[in-house]
Amino acid sequence: MNLRRIRLVLWALVAVALAGVLALQWAGRRREPSQAAFRPDFALQDAAGRTYGMEDFRGRLALVFFGFTNCPDVCPTTMSEVALVMNDLGSEADKVQPLFISMDPQRDRGQGLSEYLAAFHPAILGLAGDGAATQAAAESFRIHFEREESPAAPDGYTMSHSPGLFLIGPDGEWLRQFPHETPAAEILADIQERI
């Protein structure tokens, strides 16, 4: 009888400890967005040479993607999803600014970044800077990119990069990242809840 009581007490203590650990984990997750919150920024130019930063999009949501025009799959797939989102937003599309930041600015400018993006959707704004401004923008968004030699690629190189699509709030604060191949319907639903 005494051994049985000891076992029950031990099991009760294990249950209480487990409940405590789960409560701490849940509380940590609830705090995680504010701890991870940051305000990315950049100073990059459009095709006309006008310089933009995140402050130029205050009051609207921004969908930001880092890519390059010679990207064979990730970039065009993501831009197609962004185009679907913008079309499906209808009259609320003016509350969202899609941005494509070039990680290969010299080549992308020469190949017509604006024309490339207009083929997906006219609202997508293409931005490019020099090497230092591009690196600063990537660091601000906490993403990675680098040039990789590839004899089969145009000009003998390609760009390795983080494929996420970033949602930035009207106040300029990072809200979330949509992983590559997130369906347009899921992105749209998230945006509509925030508008």
Kindly state whether residues 123 and 56 are assigned to the same domain.
yes
61 in Cβ contact with 176 (< 8 Å): no
3-state class (DSSP) for residue 137: helix
Kindly state whether residues 14 and 109 are assigned to the same domain.
no
Task: List the binding residues for Cu cation.
Answer: 71, 75, 161
Beta bridge partner(s), residue 102: 67
Residue 34: pLDDT band with limits 50, 70, 90: very low
Residue 140: pLDDT over 70: yes
Kindly state whether residues 66 and 151 are assigned to the same domain.
yes
Kindly state whether residues 64 and 17 are assigned to the same domain.
no
Kindly state whether residues 101 and 165 are assigned to the same domain.
yes
More confident residue, 16 or 65: 65
* Interval 162-174: pLDDT, tens: 889 999 999 999 9
Residue 93: pLDDT band with limits 50, 70, 90: very high
Write down the residue that tokens 């906490």 correspond to: 142
Kindly state whether residues 68 and 145 are assigned to the same domain.
yes
62 in Cβ contact with 54 (< 8 Å): yes
* Interval 107-138: pLDDT, tens: 999 889 999 999 999 999 999 999 999 999 99
Task: Please name which of 143, 135, 149 lies closest in space to residue 161, comparing C-alpha atoms.
Answer: 143
Kindly state whether residues 32 and 59 are assigned to the same domain.
no
Kindly state whether residues 10 and 65 are assigned to the same domain.
no
Task: List the binding residues.
Answer: 71, 75, 161
* Contacts of residue 160, Cβ cutoff 8 Å, sequence gap at least 6: 144, 145, 146, 147, 148
What confidence score (pLDDT) does residue 56 get?
97
pTM strictly above 0.85: no
Kindly state whether residues 25 and 84 are assigned to the same domain.
no
Kindly state whether residues 16 and 83 are assigned to the same domain.
no
Range of the domain at 178: 44-194
Quick one: average pLDDT of 177-193?
96
Residue 156: give its domain's CATH number.
3.40.30.10
Kindly state whether residues 71 and 127 are assigned to the same domain.
yes
* Number of other CB atoms surrounding residue 70 within 10 Å: 17
What domain count does the chain have? Answer: 2
Kindly state whether residues 117 and 180 are assigned to the same domain.
yes
CA 86 to chain centre: 16
